Structures are given as C-alpha cells and as structure tokens.
Amino acid sequence: MYTIKFKLRSFFGLSGIDKNENPRALTWGHRFELSMVFIAIWLPLQWYLERTHQVTHQVTEIVSWFIWFFFVAETTVMFHLTTNKKDYLLKNWMNLVIIVVGIPPIWLHTPLIAALRILQLLLMLRLLLPFWDSAITILSRNRLGTTLIVAFIITIFWGILMSIIDPDIKTPWDGIWLAWETVTTVGFGDVIPTSFLGRLMDILLMIMGLALLSLLTANFSAYFIGQNTDVLKREEDETHVMLKEMQQQLTTIQHELNDVKAKLNQKGDNSPL
C-alpha cells in the first residue's frame, strides 16, 4: 500500500519532504501543508463567487497573485532548508511547473482566461494530494476501501431494483437517489417506498447504512489512536536506545576502573617493602 501511495505522488511530482530530511525542513514542510488546506478551501469558494459575479476582477487578480507567491515562497524556503536539494526538486517538479506557467498575467490578461480553470484544478491537486496518504491509510484498515466499493455497487443495484418492485418509484434514478438517502441515513423524504416489499428492502438498506457508518467511525478512531500509539512507540524506542547507550558507557567505565584498580594493585605488589 505504501508503494502505491509513493508512486502516485511521485508520478504527479508531489512527493513532498522526505521523512529522512532534517528536523527543520520537516517542520516547515508540515507548516506549508497546513497553509495549503486554507487555500484548497478558498478556491471552490472563489469559483462560486466569480460565477455569481460577487467578486471583482481586481480581487481575483490579487488572490491569484497571492496563491502564486505562496508556491514561490514554499519552493524557495524548502529548497533552502532541505539537505538534498536536487532530490527535493526532482520529486516536487510540479511546484516548478505551477510557478512557471501559473504567473497570473499570463492567464488574466490574455485570451487564455478559460484555461485558468485547468490551472486551478492543477492547484487543487497539488494542495490535496499530500493528504492522500492519510486517506489511503484509513481505507486500508480492515479492508475498508474494498467494503466501501462493494457497498457502492450494492447501493446502485439496490436502487435500480427498488424502481422495479415499488410502483411509486418511477425511474431508476429515483431508486438510486432513495438508496443513497437511506444508506447515508439522511432521509430527505422526497422519494419514499409505499409497497410492503419496497419498505422491507429499505429497512435492510438502513441496517447496511448503520453498519457502514459504524465501520467508518471505528476506522477513523483506530487511525487517530494509531497515530498517537506510533508516536509513543517511537519515543519508547528512542528511550530504549538511549538507555542501551548509557548502559554501554557504564560498562566501559566499569572496565576502565577495573583496569586502573588492577594496575594499582599490581604496582602495590611490586613496591619494595
């Protein structure tokens, strides 16, 4: 699973900071990733505001410059802090692409304005992919990813079947919508089964939805608890290594004292009476 995550991030040139880098580079790498969360939240909001004409062109230009400068700052700072600078650039080449082709005047003052959305989608990928590792880790626990895929397929077919057996569900799309409402325990009530068999099937789907929510909650809890456990285990291992080194040093000192004592005893035995 780790290999899949690493290959995906390497393919997109978004490997981030190597875990073996120096502590200062790792600290600043985490700070920049946290800042990216706010930019990732802002971009969809900006698209909506632009579409509804609630922001001016000047605001859009300022925000675009800010985001571009953020990537320049991140790349410059991390290049300065990392020990293996060439390796950092090779594994994070997407940053360089965004900096070179993402200069705001190129997109805001040319006929290429329509292509700006493509660049912003690229930015979203750059911002969100670092969190792919955590998502994959959670989905890999107890085959959660496989379970969700199977549940997705079952829900689709369940909805289609509901449209066949219940007279008040007119189309397969309505059946699928009802299935998703039920399995997620949302229940808008805009589409409801009226036949006995339809309601019986809906009850079974409710049970499956509750089981899925319980499974998701358990896996999220296990993930976060596991994170703390990993930290404690790492600290315990470091303490164990430190104690072992201290024990070796004490053993060395004991040997040296024994040698000195033996020499003193030998000197005393050889001294004239």
Q: What tens digit of pLDDT does each residue of 178-193 get?
A: 888 888 878 788 888 8
Is residue 176 a contact partner of residue 155, using CB atoms and an 8 Å limit?
yes
Number of H helices, E strands in the chain: 11, 0
Is residue 89's pLDDT more than 50?
Answer: yes
Is residue 35 a contact partner of residue 67, using CB atoms and an 8 Å limit?
no
pLDDT in tens, 37-77: 777 777 777 777 877 888 887 887 788 788 888 888 988 99
Q: What is the mean pLDDT of the chain?
A: 76
Is residue 197's pLDDT more than 70?
Answer: yes
**Short-list 164, 159, 169, CA closest to 193:** 169
H/E stretch holding 231 reads helix 196-270
Q: How confident is the model at residue 16 (pLDDT cuts 50, 70, 90)?
A: confident
